[in-house]
Every structure is written in C-alpha cells, then in structure tokens.
Amino acid sequence: MTDGRSWEGNWKVRLYERVRERGYDSLTAFAEARPTSSLVALAEELGPDDIAGVQVFSGLLAEAERSHRVTRLIRGQLVRELAEAIPNGWPTVLDDANRFDVAHALARWGTFTPETQKERVRRIGDALLATPPPPGWRPLGPDDELLRALLPDEKV
C-alpha cells in the first residue's frame, strides 16, 4: 500500500518505466498477464510505495481509449472485481452474505467505469443479480463468453 508518495513527481513516467522494466510494452499487456489481480495488487507489483491502483486504472483507461478497447477494459475490470469479491466463483445461493459480496464487487466495478459507460454497467449489474450466471462461474479474463455476450466489443 502506498504511503502517499504515489503522486510525487511524474507518476505517469514512473508507472511506464516500471512496466517496461518488467518486459512489457504497455500497461495493458502487463495487466492482461494478470487478469484476476486487483488494481491494488497491480500497483503493489509495480511499486509498493509509489504507485496507486487508481493510477494503474488511469493508465489502462488512456490506453483503452487510444486503441478503442474501452469495453474490453470494462470487462477486464469486472473480472478483477469478481475475483477479489467471490474468488470461488458465482455463489450457488445468493443469500444475504453472498448478495452483499456480489453487490460490493459490482459497485466497485461501477467506480472504475468511464462516465460514458456507467448506465450500461449499472444495467448489466442489475441483470447479473436478477438472472445470475451458473453457480461457480468465474471469469478468468475479459474474453469470457458470458462477459462478451453482456458487453460486446464496441464497433470502431
């Protein structure tokens, strides 16, 4: 966890230097090699004292916007949130405790969604709660079949 130094200096340069030091040509490539790692885990791997999860997301969003792959980023972020909240997959029973875990993941997902996509993400979250996926469903990346059906790639 950072101690507040993450915003000191040119954090974008620092972020991309760390990505390149690890052999990746983009932050997206680095993150996609770790599809179920949280933004905090990605930040800690890149710099436990001076990189924050929100900075990682900011870089990922900038890259996604340049490559017209924002929908893929949004799917990937849902994977990260679900992996953290329900690591064993979609619960068999959506009792109060499980519903809270899923709702918490969906709320965090919405937090890391560009404003232009928030309504779409809200509707998808509502649909997942109303018509849950099969028990044990655990998307391992942004190309999961169910996620692609819910959030098809944008047309460029």
What three-state secondary structure class fits 69? Answer: coil
Residue 154 confidence (pLDDT): 75
Residue 111 confidence (pLDDT): 95
Residue 109 confidence (pLDDT): 97
Higher pLDDT, 3 or 2: 3
Domain locations in the chain as residue ranges:
5-67, 70-150
Its pTM stands at 0.92
With contact defined as beta carbons under 8 Å apart, do 28 and 16 qualify?
A: no
At 6, the pLDDT band (50, 70, 90 cuts) reads confident
pLDDT value at 133 more than 50: yes
